[in-house]
Structure 1
């Protein structure tokens, strides 16, 4: 199926080290979302999942001697797929929150960021934070951690299956603001994917955290993942991945 692929590590294109993951080692099924540009997404030209987190888990596997079989999984189904043994790892734009840590284990932090607020290009109201947006009709993706903070701040929240659906309704004026992971929204606006919208200038996120790689509770694979991450960060390979995918500086 086009939504699955064996990754040797996307490292060759980066010039990290040109060895493939040993096919003789263990293979882990990795859940990634097809709509989380630039972290994980479906490349329609090659019909394969790609992105920062896909490259990262492939390179971790190469360093640690295991292969990865990346499978397209809706964001809201990632944890359930992991705990029910349909996948073995999660490599996506998933923040390692306390609530999620009750269900699964996470690796050491990978990359930190907060929410971004997208509005119509013609919108000029001086919003700087959620406190300024009480009463605003806003959209957020099902399964993300932004829904409850938005409601607690007094916004009227509508939920959507994807960030693209949110941005469509922002551009059409059906909702006044759309919330999503700031690097994902920023990247896609810059690429021209989301037209008629812009990020709120100088917006201060209220929900800040770090994404990490997920594993089942007690699975020893997380130690191997952490070892691979440490090596990648120490030798500059991580910085090259950040540059490749045009990510802003991590928010720690």
Structure 2
């Protein structure tokens, strides 16, 4: 009898626990915990990367996560995640938000919710300069092999937009770039600024590379929030809206992409709703 009572009590406890977990509010969890866990890559300068002097993860997306944490009155915890793990980590609740070069796509928008656009990225193709005479447009890579980061929108875009292309995927940008240097692929597909870094590196060592001028496609990026977490999403968007209104959004952009940086580019977008 005692054993049956114990089993019944355990079942009730488990049911109550499951009910609480199912009805948990992500915003309440963040505030009660006192910490916002932000998933980011840590390998994509200047968006998120390890500072060689401090070994701390810094960058444009890290600063945005810090602004959200400050807005909520909590501490920020950065968790480095792989490109392919971005959505699984978010859905499983191991991170509260994802700020990790997260390009918007209809498929992803069915799995997670997106904040306002926090960046707009031309996706381009990096090639060896020795191939520049024959590879002038993305279409010229038809039937060839290109590298991309596994699970990235660059991989999906290459498959969708380059006829008969073979995509060779890797876990991170450096290994994708190495494949190009080792002549294993004819091109490396990625965000323009990420490819710019590798293009600059190639001027010092390895085979010289350059980007094809015409973008493969252009995509807005946003901060990912678990599907249905409307309160947390509203706070994230409120943070971005305040940054835009106060012009701090421009200041953060200039910190990482301004004239005094190696990633100089003009800001041609605003923090606003992504219209798919």
TM-score bracket, normalised by the shorter chain, equals 0.7 to 0.9
Structure with max Cα Rg: 2
SS at match of 1:86: coil
Q: Structure 2 length normalisation: TM-score?
A: 0.75
Alignment correspondent of 1:101:
109
Name the CA distance, whole Å, in 1 between partners of 2:205 and 2:48: 17
State the 1:201 CA deviation.
Answer: 4.2
2:256 pairs, out of 238, 241, 245, with: 245
What are the ranges of 5 or more consecutive residues in structure 1 without an aligned counterpart? Answer: 1-22
Corresponding residue for residue 11 of structure 2 = none
Residue 230 of structure 1, aligned match among 231, 234, 241? 241
- 1:173 aligns with 183
- Which runs of structure 2 are paired with 1:210-221 in the superposition (5 Å)? 210-219=220-229, 220-221=231-232
Match of 1:52 among 60, 80, 83: 60
Partner Cα distance (1:155, 1:90) in 2: 30
Matching of residue 149 in structure 1 with residue 166 in structure 2:
no
User: In the TM superposition, what is the alpha-carbon distance from 1:177 to its structure 2 partner?
Assistant: 0.8
Q: Greater share of helix residues, 1 or 2?
A: 2
TM-score (norm 1): 0.82
Question: Bigger shift: 160-169 or 128-137?
Answer: 128-137
1:1-252 matches, cutoff 5 A? 26-152=34-160, 153=162, 154-190=164-200, 195-202=206-213, 204-219=214-229, 220-246=231-257, 247=263, 248-250=265-267
State the SS of the aligned residue for 2:190. strand
Aligned-residue offset at 1:126: 4.8
Question: How far apart are the structure 2 equivalents of 1:124 and 1:96?
Answer: 30
Root mean square deviation, CA, Å: 2.3
Query: Distance in 1 between the 2:251 and 2:174 partners?
Result: 28
Q: CA deviation at 1:199?
A: 2.8
Across the two proteins, how many residue pairs are aligned to each other?
229
CA distance in 2, matches of 1:90, 1:114: 20
Cα offset, 1:206, TM superposition? 2.9
How far is 1:162 from its partner?
1.3
* Rounded Cα–Cα distance in structure 2 between residues aligned with 1:104 and 1:232: 23
Deviation string 1:124-151 (CA, Å, 9 cap, x unpaired) is 2253432222122211110112223323
SS at match of 1:109: strand
